[in-house]
Amino acid sequence: MHFLRRAVPLGLPSVLLVACLAVAPPAFAQAVTPASPPAGTPSARAPLPEQIELNLIDLPTTLSVQRHRSYFRLTHRFARDLRRGDLGELASDLFSLDNGSIIGLEYRFGITASLQAGVHRSMLSKTIQTFARWDAIAQDRSPVAASLTVSVEGLNNLRQKRQPAVALTVSRVFGDVAAFYATPALVGRTKAVDFIAGHEDHIGELGEPDEHSNHNETWLLGLGTRVRFSRTVYVVGEYTPRLAGYDPNAGTWGVAIEKRTGGHTLQLNFTNSFGTTFGQLARGGSPHDIYLGFNITRKF
């Protein structure tokens, strides 16, 4: 995957961006912190949220953005495979922090209490994904919650190889302890994007043709969970196999540990893919590589 040689190394701009996101003004912290229980209740501690994030690692959840509120997400994947080299070699590279990275930036806005729209831009072939999501069902009115997402993404800043996608996310939350998610999705033009010619950020052929090489679209199923480990620490896992259609490489997976701090969530993750959009997930991940990364989010 020679495009990794073009990846941008982690430098001072990334460090400054992370530092800015990690500090919330007092007014913002007060705005996003759940209200304290009324005086006289047994506990003075604020109640824990049932869901804390709009994403797991790469897959969506069913948490809504409040009306006229905003959400920002930074995704960061270091380019070195953690399985390459011995412990000494990894340590000399600070466990991949000295290598290039794939960075993504996302912003979304709550149009209404149940309708949100946003844009995500990944360095991977300069991909831009625009999307809208309708949070159709809340769990307080049914056994599950459900959200419908439609998106269009394209390479070279949405000018080439556009991929439409539609996904339905269904969740079941068990109090403030655990949440489980399933996201069946259909992504179009997967094969067309997987074989790129004449693009300056050519990502190459990501896999050998298989028995589904005559297909162009991909059906996938994202499965994930978030489990609370302590009051503000969570463990996250997700796996996205392809069910039918064009399915190069292996299904993507990821595991993470994250910390909730007011309006921020800080997540350290390990994945087998740089993908953060539906189209990138449809093209699969490495069957043997492991990449270190992190996500930082902020609601405001």
Calpha distance 115→134 (Å, rounded): 5
Question: To the nearest whole number, what is the mean pLDDT of the chain?
Answer: 82
Q: Burial level of 154, CB count in 10 A (0-12/13-18/19+)? A: buried
Beta-bridged to residue 100, according to DSSP, are: 9
pLDDT score for 95? 52
Q: 166 φ, ψ to 5°?
A: -135, 135
- Domain total for the chain? 1
26 HSE (CA, 13 A, CB side): 0
Percent of residues in the chain assigned helix, strand, coil, to nearest 5: 15, 45, 40
DSSP string, 40-86: TSS--SPPPPS---SBSSSSB-SPPPPTT-EEEEEEEEESS-TTSS-
Residue 277 is part of which domain span?
52-299
3 versus 123: the higher-pLDDT residue is 123
Residue 179 lies in a domain: yes
What CATH number did the domain enclosing 260 receive? 2.40.160.40
Work out the number of other CB atoms within 10 angstroms of the CB of residue 279: 28
pLDDT score for 76? 93
- Is the separation of the CB atoms in 96 and 292 below 8 Å? yes
Residue 11 lies in a domain: no
66 HSE (CA, 13 A, CB side): 7
Residue 45 lies in a domain: no
Residue 70 lies in a domain: yes
Q: Which of 4, 65, 73, 43 is nearest to 264 (CA)?
A: 73
Residue 44 lies in a domain: no
Query: What digits encode the pLDDT tens for the residues 195-251?
Result: 643 333 334 444 455 565 678 999 999 999 999 999 999 999 999 999 999 998 899
Q: What angle do CA 174, 178, 182 make, to 5 degrees?
A: 90
Calpha distance 54→34 (Å, rounded): 17
Q: Model-level pTM?
A: 0.79
Residue 133 lies in a domain: yes
Residue 5 lies in a domain: no
Residue 10 lies in a domain: no
